[in-house]
Amino acid sequence: MLLQNLSLLALALGSYAASVRPASSEVTTLDASTSKELLALHKKLVDIESISENELEVGIWLASYLKDNGFTVERQEVAKDRYNILAYGSKRDTTILLSSHIDTVPPYWPYYYNKTTDVIGGRGSVDAKASVAAQILAVMGLKEEGEAKFLRDDISLLFVVGEEAGGEGMKAFSAWDKRPQYDIVIFGEPTEGKLVCGHKGILGFEIHATGKAAHSGYPWLGVSANDIMAETLAVLLELRQHLPWSEKYGNTTMNFGRIQGGVAANVVAETSSAKIATRLAAGTPKIIQGLILNATKEIKARAQKDGGDLEFDWSGNGYPPVDIDCDIEGFEKLTVNYGTDVPNLEGDHRRYLYGPGNIFVAHSDHEALKRTELEQAVLDYRRLILQASKMEPKQQGAGKGSEQFEL
């Protein structure tokens, strides 16, 4: 869907030129009525608890808000009581798709707005309901800005469920037989108002060691699953110093997030397990798997000889580093270490990632952002929309080449 009407586009860009981003210390230039609507929409979204798997209520409310504001709204069923929300103007296939997610991590924290500090907080206030609210107001504003009206009709909005828990919603959208057409996707996640040029990949996995229980006074009568686990983790501690890295993303990291084993101090442990998240700066999940299996194969062989075992469960999320387009002037650029829905949407579209708020507070008990960050995001999304709509669409297959890596 390339934009055809170039004279209208020139007009739209003219209006953009007049509102080039102010330095970050300056106040935003969002008009008072848009600001008021933005804050009210954001508050409502945060007020409705929507921890992953409980997105029904916020989705119903959002769908009716979008309908009331002139959008055509469709719901895509992802699972029982779980729906993605798709909204658009007069046509379903559009040049640009704006997308974010409506689920949050637990636990719920209520909304607050501190007028003294101008800080807005609560669960989801940053991740990602700030993006959701700013994207909607950005598009609604285009409708009012007469000359950019054609663009308003050439944009669709997608708000998915389950981003915080494996990306089920976006994966379902990606696989949808009724998925609409688009050339450019702008994803909303907290990026401190910068344009993200890529993020690390991930390999999540579990380790399961099994042994044989015995009285701790006679350990030779059993096989300790905890011993097997401890040896395995020691090898991984060493291995993680030597994992692939890249200039762009830095070092691959490996977090031992949860370790659990045995039942009591005086019992030889029968089972032991660990949950591990590896953030890939280079390489692929397959390469990392190979390194891990090779490094631990002797431990596994010994465990099996003793009547125990060591097994890896690779069924968690896995993808290589994700390169994202960031060829737009006037934005600061960065790379990030967290995962997003970007790799869950397959296709050769251009992709951008931008959103208000800071990821460092996103999953915390002090999740919050400044009102001005939220307002700036509306203006920035409009700039992104206008600038991105000028870009050539991706050539067929061009996305594949971006998965190069250095070891």
Ligand X SMILES: *[C@@H]1O[C@H](CO)[C@@H](O)[C@H](O)[C@H]1NC(C)=O
20-79: which residues touch ligand X (CB under 6 A)? Answer: none
Helix (H) / strand (E) element for 142: namely helix 129-144
Distance in Å, CB of 241 to ligand X, minimum: 5
Distance CA 128, CA 102 (A): 7
Would you state the torsion angle of the CA atoms of residues 330, 336, 338, 342, taken in this order, to the nearest 10 degrees? 50
Beta strands in 47-108 (DSSP E): 72-79, 82-88, 96-101
354-373: which residues touch ligand X (CB under 6 A)? Answer: none
Show the site string, 238-257: x = touches ligand X by CB under 6 A, - = not: ---x--------xx------
Partners of 30 in beta bridges? none
Is there a contact between 357 and 130 (Cβ–Cβ < 8 Å)? yes
Distance in Å, CB of 280 to ligand X, minimum: 14
Distance in Å, CB of 295 to ligand X, minimum: 5
Paired tokens of 153:
């009709």
Distance CA 323, CA 200 (A): 9
Q: Which C-beta is closer to ligand X: that of 139 or that of 280?
A: 280
Count of alpha carbons within 13 angstroms of residue 372, beta-carbon side: 11
Q: How many residues bind ligand X (CB under 6 A)?
A: 9
Q: Smallest Cα–Cα separation from 193: which of 305, 58, 330, 355?
A: 355
Binding test (CB under 6 A) with ligand X, winner from 11, 295, 328, 391 = 295
Q: Which C-beta is closer to ligand X: that of 3 or that of 295?
A: 295
**Backbone conformation region of residue 251, classed left if phi is above 0, alpha if psi is from -120 to 50, else beta:** beta
Those residues with Cβ within 8 angstroms of residue 227's Cβ, 6 or more apart along the chain or in another chain: 211, 269
Q: Smallest Cα–Cα separation from 399: which of 347, 353, 352?
A: 347
Distance in Å, CB of 250 to ligand X, minimum: 4
Distance in Å, CB of 114 to ligand X, minimum: 4
Neighbour count for residue 351 (Cβ, 10 Å) = 25
Q: Which C-beta is closer to ligand X: that of 34 or that of 253?
A: 253
Is there a contact between 10 and 64 (Cβ–Cβ < 8 Å)? no
Q: Which C-beta is closer to ligand X: that of 46 or that of 140?
A: 46
Partners of 101 in beta bridges? 160
Candidates 37, 49, 163, 373; catalytic one: 163
Q: Which residue has the tokens 């206008």?
A: 386
Q: Which C-beta is closer to ligand X: that of 12 or that of 282?
A: 282
Paired tokens of 63:
């769908």
Neighbour count for residue 330 (Cβ, 10 Å) = 12
Binding test (CB under 6 A) with ligand X, winner from 8, 105, 277, 291 = 291
Distance in Å, CB of 290 to ligand X, minimum: 7
168-197: which residues touch ligand X (CB under 6 A)? Answer: none
Distance in Å, CB of 239 to ligand X, minimum: 9
Count of alpha carbons within 13 angstroms of residue 106, beta-carbon side: 5
Q: Which C-beta is closer to ligand X: that of 327 or that of 406?
A: 406
Q: Is 337 in the site for ligand X (CB under 6 A)?
A: no
Helix (H) / strand (E) element for 120: namely strand 119-121
Binding test (CB under 6 A) with ligand X, winner from 294, 304, 337, 404 = 294
Q: Which C-beta is closer to ligand X: that of 36 or that of 242?
A: 242
Q: Which C-beta is closer to ligand X: that of 260 or that of 294?
A: 294
Is 375 in the active site? no
82-121: which residues touch ligand X (CB under 6 A)? Answer: 114, 116-117
Distance in Å, CB of 248 to ligand X, minimum: 11
Q: Which residues are marked as active site?
A: 163
Where does this chain bind ligand X (CB under 6 A)? 114, 116-117, 241, 250-251, 291, 294-295
